[in-house]
Amino acid sequence: MFKLLKKAKMIFLVMFAVFIVSYGSGYLAGKLEWGDYSEYTKTSLFQLNRNLEYKVPLLGKLLRAYKNWHNPKLFKFLSTKNRRGLVLLIFINNFFVSNFTMALRAILVLPLLFYPFSKFFQGMVFAQTPFTPHMTAVFIGEFGGYFLVICAALSCTIWTVFYRRFTFSSRREALGNGLKLLGFLYLISGLFIFLASIIEASFMLNLL
């Protein structure tokens, strides 16, 4: 696994650089009040990025069915202050659903064109909302989990297309190793996301 991580190092570094520039620019814009994040949510680009998966016929139908199950559960756990249920629900949403859509976008590559915009917006939100340790901890946990999955999924695609450049003997070998890396880092991301789920659930219940 160490050899695969070494092969993916440059992809991780490029994606991290994109994140730093995009998020940093958004944070700076927010602090300098060059824009209001609430206005960005009304733009067509934001709405397209937010609803991209719902435009895929079968996937969109499955996601709508999931939301119809998820939202009543969320309301129930909040109203009954069910901490354990809320932690599990947040974990399921972030680890299985959000992580899956992140991986799918990265594997297809083109949807990652929205990544700088979404990080810019996220930076602006962070700059214009009250700072709390809970928010920071949740952000670090979820970012760490999602970032691992995005980079692993992107590595899988790039390795398969440019397999000779990454010293694989065939596309099949490159794909197999890419999926192996994705599976390994997907599981590791669960640790970040689980810890973030505990903190997020506690934060949400303390607000009630």
Where would I find the beta strands (DSSP E) of 15-143?
Answer: none
What is the Cβ-side half-sphere exposure of residue 203, based on CA atoms within 13 angstroms?
Answer: 16
pLDDT at 31: 84
Q: List Cα–Cα distances, 43 to 37, 106, 117, 118, in angstroms.
A: 10, 23, 12, 12
Select from 139, 122, 130 the least CA-distant residue to 200: 139
pLDDT confidence tier of residue 207, bands split at 50, 70 and 90: low
Does this model's pTM top 0.85? My answer is yes
Select from 142, 134, 137, 127 the least CA-distant residue to 207: 134
Q: List Cα–Cα distances, 184 to 29, 80, 149, 178, in angstroms.
A: 36, 36, 9, 10
Per the listing, tokens 């505990």 go with: 198
State the DSSP H helix or E strand holding residue 82, giving kind and residue range, or none if neither: none
Is the pLDDT higher at 100 or at 128? 100
Of the given ranges (67-71, 88-92, 110-114), which has the lowest mean pLDDT? 110-114
pLDDT at 154: 95
Q: CA 205, 95, 121: angle at the middle one, nearest 5?
A: 75
Domain range for 127 is 2-206
Q: Work out how many domains the chain is built from and give that number.
A: 1
Report pLDDT digits (tens) over 161-190: 999 999 999 999 999 999 999 999 999 999
The two tokens of residue 103 are: 């991986």
Q: From CA 207, how far away is CA 185, in angstroms rounded? A: 33
Q: List Cα–Cα distances, 98 to 92, 105, 170, 171, 201, in angstroms.
A: 9, 11, 31, 28, 17
